[in-house]
């Protein structure tokens, strides 16, 4: 049983939580980073290779690519995380040499986050006005120029919001990897909360996770607002604007 009046309790409490928080942050950020690197192009490819998509998907190659990508993404999304985690053990062991610990936990976290994020990107890219694709064509732009200068800037605010959602999911799942010795706050809740009945630890874990998620959401919201110029920022507007009914 725990005893909060024990002088040894608090230093240990803080150390455990501090370590757990850092581990969670580490796992989440690395997994998020890899997810963006792989998921972003994947999402753009998913939309671009659709029937009539901006990457010229009327070709056979495009159609096949689209179907393969769609299949992988749906497969990744339909398997429950706990099952995926176990199923990935051989792969993780092959890739990083072990499946226990914070580092190896990043593997299943990334694998589960990529399809999720790819769908997020897909939705964001679909919101880009199709007229802009035609415009880029009329300017004789390459596909890469179109993606880099039109699709990305326009989809970025939504993608950033999607990063918040995805990071939150990764944090949730990272708690679950604690079950298989993945470390992080989930492991703290498991070893101290469940095995040693420490409510103090459970509550602290909940509070820390809540604050983390809140900070991520807040940060991403602010960034997305900065990136989105489509609604205009009243502060940036000149005080006198010529009346123009067409400017609505």
Partner 1 sequence: MITIDHVSRSYGDVRALDDVSIQVGRGEIFGVVGQSGAGKSTLLRLVNAIERPDSGSVVVDDVELSALQGRELRAARHRIGMVFQHFNLVGNRTAAQNVEFALEAVGRTRGDRKREARDMLDLVGLAHRADAYPSELSGGQRQRVGIARALASKPDVLLSDEATSALDPETTRQILALVQRLSADLGLTVLLITHEMEVVKQICDGAALLESGRVVEQGPLLDLVNTPGSRLAHDLFPLGEAPDLPGFGILDLTFAGGEAERPTIALLARDLGLDVSILGATIETIGGQQAGRTRLAIPGGGEATAQAVTFLAERGVRAEAVSSR
How is residue 203 written in tokens?
């509550």
d(CA 106, CA 158): 25
**Does 228 interact with partner 1 (rule: CB under 8 A)?**
yes
* CA 207 to mean position of chain CA atoms: 21
Among 103, 115, 157, 186, binds partner 1 (CB under 8 A): 157
**Does 140 interact with partner 1 (rule: CB under 8 A)?**
yes
Q: Which is nearer to partner 1, 90 or 153 (CB)?
A: 153
How is residue 147 written in tokens?
């993606």
**Does 239 interact with partner 1 (rule: CB under 8 A)?**
no
Least distance in angstroms from the C-beta of 223 to partner 1: 13
d(CA 118, CA 41): 8
The structure tokens 């936990």 sit at 105
C-alpha dihedral over 186, 188, 190, 191, to 10 degrees?
Answer: 150
Least distance in angstroms from the C-beta of 182 to partner 1: 38
Least distance in angstroms from the C-beta of 56 to partner 1: 10
Least distance in angstroms from the C-beta of 8 to partner 1: 55
| Region 94-133 residues binding partner 1, contact defined as CB under 8 A | 129, 131-132
**Does 222 interact with partner 1 (rule: CB under 8 A)?**
no
Helix intervals (H) in the chain: 9-48, 60-78, 81-87, 89-96, 102-126, 130-138, 143-146, 152-177, 184-188, 199-227
Q: Which is nearer to partner 1, 50 or 228 (CB)?
A: 228
Q: Kindly list the residues in this chain that would bind partner 1 in the complex (CB under 8 A).
A: 129, 131-132, 134-142, 145, 149-150, 153-154, 156-157, 227-233, 236-238, 241-242, 244-247
């Amino acid at each position: 049983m725990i005893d909060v009046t024990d002088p040894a309790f608090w230093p240990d409490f803080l150390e455990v939580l501090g370590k757990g928080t850092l581990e969670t942050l580490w796992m989440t950020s690395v997994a998020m980073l890899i997810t963006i690197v792989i998921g972003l192009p994947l999402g753009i490819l998913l939309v671009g290779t659709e029937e009539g998509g901006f990457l010229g998907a009327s070709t056979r190659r495009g159609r096949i690519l689209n179907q393969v990508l769609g299949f992988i993404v749906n497969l990744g999304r339909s398997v429950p995380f706990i099952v995926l985690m176990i199923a990935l053990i051989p792969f993780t062991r092959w890739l990083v040499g072990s499946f226990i610990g914070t580092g190896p936990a990043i593997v299943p976290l990334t694998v589960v986050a990529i399809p999720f994020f790819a769908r997020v990107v897909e939705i964001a890219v679909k919101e880009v006005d199709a007229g802009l694709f035609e415009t880029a064509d009329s300017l004789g732009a390459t596909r890469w120029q179109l993606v880099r200068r039109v699709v990305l800037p326009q989809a970025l605010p939504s993608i950033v919001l999607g990063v918040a959602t995805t990071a939150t999911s990764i944090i949730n799942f990272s708690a679950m990897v604690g079950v298989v010795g993945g470390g992080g706050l989930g492991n703290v809740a498991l070893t101290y909360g469940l095995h040693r009945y420490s409510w103090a630890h459970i509550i602290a874990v909940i509070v820390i996770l809540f604050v983390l998620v809140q900070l991520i959401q807040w940060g991403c919201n602010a960034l997305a607002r900065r990136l989105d110029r489509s609604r205009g920022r009243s502060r940036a507007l000149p005080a006198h604007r010529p009346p123009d009914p067409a400017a609505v």
